[in-house]
Amino acid sequence: MKVPGPVELSAAWSGLPVSLRDHIGFIAFDMVFQGFLSGQAYAPEDRVLSSDEDRSEACDRECRGLTELYRTIEDAVPALFGPEGENPVWCANPGAAPIPASQSTTGCS
């Protein structure tokens, strides 16, 4: 078994349509901005939003973005992640695929 590395990931990325790469990039960009708004990485005095409710909503948007990012990338590159419901061909343990990100929990609440 050879786990795909940077060369394979770069080839997979380069093989995606430009519009899909742009979409993935925008999801990542928005996630970082929502993380900035949530203020989780900042001291209370450095947060840009003062409302706990507004910061919580930003965190929720960031988490939804992560789920969308996982789904978009996994669906776009089945050679790396396997067809839906299956492990990829390169995987040493064929069988049922791991639980999709959409069904797992994230760190935001």
Is residue 85 in a domain? yes
105: pLDDT strictly greater than 50: no
pTM of the model: 0.79
109: pLDDT strictly greater than 50: no
DSSP letter assigned to residue 93: S
Is residue 75 in a domain? yes
DSSP letter assigned to residue 107: S
Number of domains in the chain: 1
Is residue 88 in a domain? yes
Mean pLDDT, to the nearest integer, of 70-96? Answer: 88
Is residue 27 in a domain? yes
Instruction: Give the Å distances, CA to CA, from 22 to 17, 29, 72, 98.
Output: 9, 10, 12, 27
106: pLDDT strictly greater than 80: no
State the Cα–Cα distance between residues 102 and 106, nearest whole angstrom.
Answer: 9
Q: Which domain holds residue 67?
A: 17-103
The 10s digit of each residue's pLDDT in 4-40 is 999 999 999 999 999 999 999 999 999 999 999 999 9
